Amino acid sequence: MRSLIAIRKPVAMILALTLFTVFAGLGPAYASMIGTSEVLETESRELDKERLLNALQREEVQQKLQSWGVEPDTAEARIQALTDRELARISQRMDSLPAGGDAFGGLIGAAVFVFLVLLFTDIMGATDVFPFVKK
């Protein structure tokens, strides 16, 4: 177990480096060329660290999408079209991002609503559904 923990860091670094090389391929052909984002987002100048972090974030976001039923290839393509800045903004809060779906429906939501209404009317004394509401 201890040895597992010991190798976790290097494995993560290798993974990150691999991803970095993959994604760096999207930028200018030479590694020593300056990417457009670097002059636009001057605050993100600490380059290598940022990019390594970003490679990990990309991996995380991709896995999240896959866990929500998006095909691996599609998930990767979706993420590749996002800038580092955009990715940094969403990666920590994927679960709470709004997902526009439907104007109606949502069984669970409706159930919650009915529960709250009944709870309230129970407290008001107009209904008597929940035994735990004391009058």
Partner 1 sequence: MISRPTSVFRAVATALLCLAAALAPGCAPKGIDPGQLRDPDIPTRVRLASVPFFAQQKYQCGPASLAMALSWSGVDTTPSALKEDVYTPGRQGSMQQDLKAATRRRSRLAYEMSGMEELLRELAAGHPVVVLQNLGLGWFPKWHYAVAVGYDLDREKVILHTGRTRAARKDLDTFAATWRRSDSWGLVVLNPGKMPASAEQKRYLRAVLGLEQADRPRAAARAYDAALSRWPDSLTAALGRGNCLYALGEHAAAEAAYRKGLERHPDSPELHNNLAHALLQRDKQQEALEAARKALELAEEDDGRYRDTLRTIRSEARW
> Minimum distance from CB of 131 to partner 1 (Å)?
19
Comparing CB distances to partner 1, the nearer of 8 and 78 is 78
Q: Which of 117, 30, 37, 29 is nearest to 83 (CA)?
A: 37
> Minimum distance from CB of 60 to partner 1 (Å)?
14
Q: How far is residue 105's CA from residue 47's CA, in Å, rounded to a whole number?
A: 46
> Minimum distance from CB of 9 to partner 1 (Å)?
23
Token pair for residue 33? Answer: 């060329």
Q: Which of 87, 40, 41 is nearest to 64 (CA)?
A: 87
Comparing CB distances to partner 1, the nearer of 14 and 124 is 124
Give the residues lining the site for partner 1 (CB under 8 A).
26, 28-40, 47-48, 65, 67-71, 74, 77-83, 85-86, 90, 97-106, 109, 112-113, 116-117, 120-121, 124-127
Token pair for residue 17? Answer: 């480096």
